[in-house]
């Protein structure tokens, strides 16, 4: 997990702001792809929706958290390149500059993990470094001319391996013996081998990739501490609820890949991609924000039950989108359920900003009261 390092807070704000802009642009692009009659910017924002959301937004957050954990200013080049790459894609379209910046972000993140490895090597960090490699592989394949749907397995590996590595890091104290870690490494190897197979042999590789995804989900379902903390209260239960629901979406994506093979368009592609990038990934963002953002911003994001509102809206609207919109082919339901996905993300951002601002005001007020009390005691 993140350990606040000597990286000054002011240096973290530009990449965080770039990631926030990437999120807003990605959500606007989502509404365009859903068919809402909004003004269409030039260049076409919808053409870069996936990379902007996955690398420009989530990639920036993950790289920023890792840079803070390392505590070195040079490590901020990773989230800086990711954020700048996302903004370049938004302003200039899918050209060479944006792709190169995203690739550079993956390279620097690999260097960050190498530095962290010198401190404390282990399977958890190896998994996160494998995720950074998948980020770099996706950027290279995009530079080589592959269309975005063909990058989805590598983008998924980036997120799955990174999150699974962090969950292993939290679970290792409860694991008995080396066998669970060996199973974890075997599942990770299957995931990476499957992504490689998709690139080399698309017709059969998707089946193998789906099995790799399911192997990781199986490990998480058996060994993640969320199985126990779901019975707790407050923040631990909130985190566990988001984790377990996200794992269910990841299992669905694995089943769709393993059972139906390659998909690069249509309803099944929409269901598979958004099961990973919304149901799994965005759920992880929601529930880890109260833990990670305070370490990055040095401002608390207190847990409140109201945070369940966007989480429930996210999963509920995604279920309607996949089951009825994609499954039954009802376009109107698919469109409005997709709008519900966007509303859930924006709602979480609004709640998180309000809670953070409120906690900041309370901290300032408590500090002033403490100063006043000290003056009176003199």
Closest-CA residue to 81 (of 115, 45, 109, 43): 109
Q: What is the rounded radius of gyration, in angstroms, for the C-alpha atoms of the chain?
A: 20
The mean pLDDT value for 277-284 works out to 97
59 has a pLDDT exceeding 70: yes
pLDDT tens track for 135-180 = 999 999 999 999 999 999 999 999 999 999 999 887 765 565 678 8
pLDDT tens track for 33-42 = 999 988 988 8
CA angle 307, 281, 150 (to 5 degrees): 155
The per-residue pLDDT of the chain, averaged, comes to 89
pLDDT tens track for 308-357 = 999 999 999 999 999 999 999 999 999 999 999 999 999 999 999 999 88
The mean pLDDT value for 195-204 works out to 93
Closest-CA residue to 248 (of 269, 264, 268, 224): 224
Q: What is the model's pLDDT at position 236?
A: 92
Tell me the three state secondary structure of residue 6: coil
Q: How far apart are CA 359 and CA 365, in angstroms?
A: 10
Q: How far apart are CA 25 and CA 46, in angstroms?
A: 9
**Other C-beta atoms lying within 10 Å of the C-beta of residue 185:** 16
CB 35 within 8 A of CB 69: no
378 has a pLDDT exceeding 70: no
Q: How far apart are CA 333 and CA 340, in angstroms?
A: 10
Chain centroid offset of residue 151 CA: 16
Banded model confidence at residue 187, pLDDT cuts 50, 70, 90: very high
Which sequence spans correspond to the domains of the chain? 13-121, 146-356
Q: How far apart are CA 213 and CA 258, in angstroms?
A: 9
Q: What is the model's pLDDT at position 299?
A: 79
Q: How far apart are CA 71 and CA 73, in angstroms?
A: 7
Residues 6+ away with beta carbon under 8 Å from 182 = none
H or E stretch at 81 = helix 77-92
């Amino acid at each position: 997990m993140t350990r606040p390092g000597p990286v000054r807070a002011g240096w973290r704000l530009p990449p965080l702001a770039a990631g926030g802009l990437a999120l807003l642009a990605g959500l606007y692009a989502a509404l365009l792809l859903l068919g809402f009659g909004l003004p269409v910017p030039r260049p076409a924002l919808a053409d870069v929706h996936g990379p902007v959301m996955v690398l420009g937004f989530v990639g920036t957050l993950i790289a920023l958290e890792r840079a803070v954990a390392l505590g070195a200013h040079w490590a901020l080049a990773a989230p800086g390149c990711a954020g700048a790459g996302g903004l370049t894609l938004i302003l200039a379209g899918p050209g060479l500059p944006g792709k190169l910046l995203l690739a550079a972000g993956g390279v620097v993140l690999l260097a960050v993990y190498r530095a962290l490895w010198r401190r404390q090597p282990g399977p958890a960090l190896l998994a996160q470094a494998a995720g950074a490699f998948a980020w770099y592989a996706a950027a290279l394949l995009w530079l080589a001319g592959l269309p975005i749907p063909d990058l989805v397995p590598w983008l998924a590996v980036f997120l799955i391996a990174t999150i699974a590595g962090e969950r292993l890091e939290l679970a290792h104290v409860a694991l008995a013996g080396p066998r669970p870690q060996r199973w974890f490494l075997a599942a990770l190897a299957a995931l990476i081998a499957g992504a490689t197979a998709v690139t080399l042999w698309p017709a059969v590789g998707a089946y193998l990739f789906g099995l790799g995804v399911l192997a990781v989900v199986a490990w998480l379902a058996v060994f993640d501490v969320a199985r126990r903390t779901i019975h707790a209260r407050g923040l631990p239960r909130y985190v566990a609820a988001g984790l377990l629901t996200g794992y269910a979406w990841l299992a669905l994506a694995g089943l769709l890949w393993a059972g139906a093979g390659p998909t690069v368009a249509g309803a099944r592609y929409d269901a598979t991609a958004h099961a990973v990038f919304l149901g799994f990934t965005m759920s992880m963002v929601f529930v880890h924000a109260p833990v990670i953002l305070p370490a990055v911003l040095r401002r608390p994001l207190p847990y409140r039950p109201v945070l369940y509102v966007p989480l429930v809206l996210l999963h509920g609207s995604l279920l309607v989108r996949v089951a009825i919109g994609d499954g039954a082919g009802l376009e109107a339901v698919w469109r409005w359920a997709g709008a519900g996905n966007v509303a859930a993300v924006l709602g979480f951002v609004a709640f998180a900003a309000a809670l953070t601002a409120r906690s900041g005001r309370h901290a300032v007020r408590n500090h002033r009261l403490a100063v006043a009390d000290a003056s009176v005691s003199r």
